Structure 1
Amino acid sequence: MGKTSFLYLIIYSTFTAGLFCQNLQLKIKGHTAVETTTIDSLNYIKNHNNYLSIKSEVDSLQKNLYKVGYIENELKYINKLNDSVYSAEIHLRKKYSSISIYYDKSLISPKLLNSVSKKVFDHYFTIPFSELENTLNFINAKISEKGYPFSKLYLLNIEVDGKSNLKANLIVDSTNQKRVISDIIIKGYDKFPRSYLKHYLKIKTNQTFNLNVIKIKTEQLNNLKFASEIKSPEVLFSNDSTTLYLYLQKTKSNSFDGFLGFGTNEDTNKLQFDGYLNLNLTNNLNYGESFKLLYKSDENDQKTFETNLSLPYLFQSPIGLDFALRIFKRDSSFTTVNQNAKIHYQINAKHKIYSGISSTQSSNLLNEITTSTILDYKTTYYTFAYQFLKNQSFNLLFPINSQLYFESNFGKRNQSNQQEKQSLLSLDAFKIFKLDIKNSIYLRVNGAALNSNTYFENELIRFGGINSIRGFEENSIYATLLGVLNTEYRFQLNNSIYIHSITDLAYFENNISSTEEKLFGVGFGFGILTKTGLLKFNYANGKTENTPFKLSNSKIHLSLLANF
């Protein structure tokens, strides 16, 4: 009995599937063979499951014919030829290839029309009929951007004008009041610094409302370290107001960075350690301010202490202030104290310019030893700088895609009542070139030049180590001119692990010792995104131009960047 019921079930399923899943064929022809060829060129769907699908396809084909210029096409019939074939006949009639549209210059500017038509005249413009729908949508979008989001366009008095041309009047229905942003309400992060809306995003009240532009601008919030966008902005329209709602959240913006490096001292053959601590505090007062504290001690008995304070958008203006203090001491040879103050102007989210003054004072600590290369001096520089920064906040391993910082300093050095003009130029730029989802190439160029008639050892540019040319001791190389190229091939295993190669090249000059030399650094490294932060490991071996690579010259660098 069970087998019999199962057999009936199979037979029932087979026949009902055949009844309800018919394969119907649609054939559409024109009044002539030429019209049939035109219809076939539109590639309509020929196989259907039911009659409603056939009727919908015929209606869709007629709309496509309207769009290409057959506005007089007419459906004559849809007939059933047999159980599986339906036939339809559409007369295309005349095709109109162009249309002349008359417009009101007070509502639509000819400059706008020049972007959609090559034939624009004082009172009308002409376009191919097939481009009519896209053209009207484009014009309507541009009108909406001017503060009329509810504007409508339509054609009136459509007439035949010549053999294959139409003419019509363009009616713009934008009788509603022009919309401007009357209020901005922030949800989720109530204490978000309002100055960033006006000067960073360029969004403010009484501004012409354009939702598409607002969405593009608010996406830049994700480039801020201390805030991000939860969802797209929304708008509340009332009779006399337009309220913009932004949905933001405060993010972890403080960071702690440090590394531990160790290698073998060439003179003593003993293991030596070096490292640094770098603390960044951002937006803790909900002002957008940032504070940086750096302390570094390396194997050359060199110590660096540095603080930076940045105060953006003072008094709700696009102007901000930057202060910095830097103290450097090399064993018992000399100390150098640098102080600078800058005014910056945020052009937009990516571009910033600086102007300020810098003062440096250096003291010779070798009281019992006379040297002609380490002397007491004071310098005063006037500073001009430019910064470009492009973030990619979606990538936690590489949050910055490209950066450029150029600084020029011009001033005088005073030493024993003698003055000498000097200039100091520096450049630091890098970019990540993405090859595909996992492979990328990182390039960084770092250079500096000190121009003077005479030089002191304690005023030279110091470089070498993890932040310049890897494989060398930290700040172990002194130069009057330098250029460093860092390259990495990066392979991202997943969203939290990557490995990379190290190939560094450098050239420097030292006018005190009359040295011109090339440096090379090679190695490998990896990065792991942990719960604590981003852990980096670098192994690099450095050498000069005329010396071979030695395993004992290798340097290992460990660093950890933790956000809190």
Structure 2
Amino acid sequence: MSQNLHLTITGSSEKETTTIDSLNYIKTHPNFLSVKKEIDSLQNQLYKLGYIENKYEDILKLNDSTFSTIFNLKTQYKSIYLNYKDTTIDSEILKSLSKTITPEYFKIEFSNIEQTLNYINTKQVEKGFPFAQLQLSNIRITDKHSLRGRLLSTSENQKREINNIIIKGYDKFPQSYLKYYLKIKAGQTFNLNETKEKTARLNNLRFASESKSPEVLFSKDSTTLYLYLEKTKSNAFDGFLGFGTNEDTNQLQFDGYLNLNLTNNLNYGETLRLLYKSDENEQKTFEVNTSLPYLFKTPIGLDVLLRIFKKDSSFTTVNQSAKLHYQINPKHKIYTGVTFTESNNLLSENTSISLTDYKTNYHNIAYEFMSYQTEDPLFPINTKFYLETNFGRREHNNTKTHQSLFNIEAFKILNINFKNSLFFKLTSSILNSDTYLDNELMRFGGINSIRGFEENSIYANLFNVINTEYRYKVSNAIYIHSITDFAYYQNQITNTKEKLYGFGFGFGFLTKAGLLKLNYANGKNENTVFKISNSKIHISLVATF
């Protein structure tokens, strides 16, 4: 059985011994080679602290298991003046490192030499000198606690720029996304680390991803960047089937919708969405909207929407909007545009003065924030915040009324650990007007709103919905969750102010066809009790192709 060796190191004075002990050197070792390495390591630490003249005496063997040595630390040099006149280093880089800077030299703490050189080298690389290397030479003593030396740069004098960009794998990747979304273009100062950070943004796109990290080919007078991309499945089909008991007839009723999203089929990054919804209240919705990014190779995109809503035989409402958007970066986007609405009363005999033909014109401004967790196939979006403001006027019966409309949609996933997470969502809309019409009120309720209620069954000029879920992942493809929803709404026409509650549970799992979800929820208002007959079951399937 081998015997451990004990090492004792002291200084030439009590003060030096205290300094050595503060470095917490290892005192127990398996063999003499380990003892020798530890003494050399300690000496290097002392060099970095400014004891550049330190020496140690012979290693003495006190007995079979104990070795000792004595260090003479000598003078500690606390600062060094570095001459950088003959390098390409910009003095602006040095301002965060030193308070003493001249066109020829700068002063730093001696103990910060390694950190300082690494920082300067990183900045040189960022400025387009990928082969930059720094070294110190001609170090000499200037006074009792200071040194002076020369900083040499071995980088090439010519700054490197990206001359060519070659895409491998997905040759038809939209060039506008390369320039405006990834912000990579020819003529740009080359920085490999920055390039890798930019290409990582591809994970936030639905239609493309990296197949491997970017590579660079350096020639004598050019730099070629190779990006390895692949086109991914980005079209989605979404639908759900809901059923419950009609309170008036006690018969089973069905409702549902079909939602088709087509993305990047023209290799332009464009999206097209088609929606058809029919629910149990004899309400039908048809919607088509498209987003065209980077029009005419500019950073500006266009969003166009058409929505037609019909309420049984009471009225129809047609919404048309056109917005310009600007993608600030992969997470932030701003919008501005106009929205036109026209609603027509279909009743031949109308006994309600609040159901009538009208038109509205709005100017709108919106902001959107999106944050992703692309490593999670079940919940790829971690955070969303969308705020929209609308200002305009309504015309009906030769009367003009100024109005404003505010919409907020926000959600956040708080990941407790790999299996457990909490989901919070807020949806809020406020219509401000001197008077209100039945056919202009906002509609909510159902699987995408407060669960446990019929789809779009609640009319309001103001509503706030909070959805919460506790989610538990059984595996990477299966999860279960609770449902706890709260809502508050106002309807000025019926003089209603009411709180609503929805409780239930659900599950989802990834299949070969897509993500299948089932929710069971029961809803009530604050003045009623829960009834099993009021429960709603919602089934939806999101298929990607």
- Normalised to the residue count of structure 1, the TM-score between the two structures is 0.91
Q: Which moved more, 1:191-200 or 1:110-119?
A: 110-119
1:287 aligns with 2:271: no
SS at match of 2:203: helix
1:468 aligns with 2:442: no
1:427 aligns with 2:387: no
Give the AA of the match of 1:288.
G
Q: Which moved more, 1:78-87 or 1:231-240?
A: 78-87
SS at match of 2:185: coil
1:338 aligns with 2:315: no
Aligned twin of 1:523: 504
Structure 2 gap ranges (5+) = none
1:395 aligns with 2:408: no
Q: CA deviation at 1:315?
A: 1.9
Q: CA deviation at 1:173?
A: 3.9
Q: Which moved more, 1:170-179 or 1:195-204?
A: 170-179
Aligned partner (choices 94, 97, 100) of residue 75 of structure 2: 94
Aligned twin of 1:58: 39
Give the AA of the match of 1:543.
K
Q: Deviations over 1:61-104 (max 9, x none)?
A: 22222111111122443456666655544432222223233444
| Distance in 1 of aligned mates of 2:262 and 2:423 | 27
1:276 aligns with 2:238: no
Aligned twin of 1:7: none
1:152 aligns with 2:152: no
* Alignment size in residue pairs: 545
Aligned twin of 1:38: 19
Mapping for residues 404-415 of structure 1, pairs under 5 Å: 404-415=385-396
1:142 aligns with 2:123: yes
1:496 aligns with 2:474: no
| Distance in 1 of aligned mates of 2:429 and 2:442 | 8
Taking only the aligned residue pairs, the percentage that are identical comes to: 64
SS at match of 1:486: strand
Deviating 4+ runs (over 6 angstroms): none
Aligned twin of 2:189: 208
| Distance in 1 of aligned mates of 2:321 and 2:430 | 19
1:263 aligns with 2:244: yes
Q: Which moved more, 1:147-156 or 1:534-543?
A: 147-156
CA contact (8 A) 2:87 2:152 kept: no
CA contact (8 A) 2:338 2:362 kept: yes
Q: CA deviation at 1:525?
A: 1.5
SS at match of 2:508: strand
Q: CA deviation at 1:422?
A: 2.0
| Distance in 2 of aligned mates of 1:273 and 1:40 | 79
Aligned twin of 2:464: 483
SS at match of 2:157: coil
Aligned twin of 1:457: 438
Q: CA deviation at 1:296?
A: 0.7
Q: CA deviation at 1:520?
A: 1.2
Aligned twin of 2:422: 441
Q: CA deviation at 1:491?
A: 2.0
Q: Which moved more, 1:54-63 or 1:66-75?
A: 54-63
Aligned twin of 2:55: 74
Give the AA of the match of 1:72.
E
Aligned twin of 2:340: 359
Instruction: Give the alignment's Cα RMSD to 1 decimal.
Output: 2.3
CA contact (8 A) 2:162 2:222 kept: yes
- Normalised to the residue count of structure 2, the TM-score between the two structures is 0.94
Q: Which moved more, 1:436-445 or 1:194-203?
A: 436-445
Structure 1's 51 and 536: CA in aligned 2 closer, same or farther, altered over 3 A?
A: same
Q: Deviations over 1:231-267 (max 9, x none)?
A: 2212111111111111211111111111111111111
Give the AA of the match of 2:208.
A
Q: Which moved more, 1:116-125 or 1:511-520?
A: 116-125
Aligned partner (choices 310, 314, 324) of residue 295 of structure 2: 314
Q: CA deviation at 1:26?
A: 4.6
SS at match of 2:329: coil
CA contact (8 A) 2:484 2:503 kept: yes
Q: Which moved more, 1:415-424 or 1:317-326?
A: 415-424
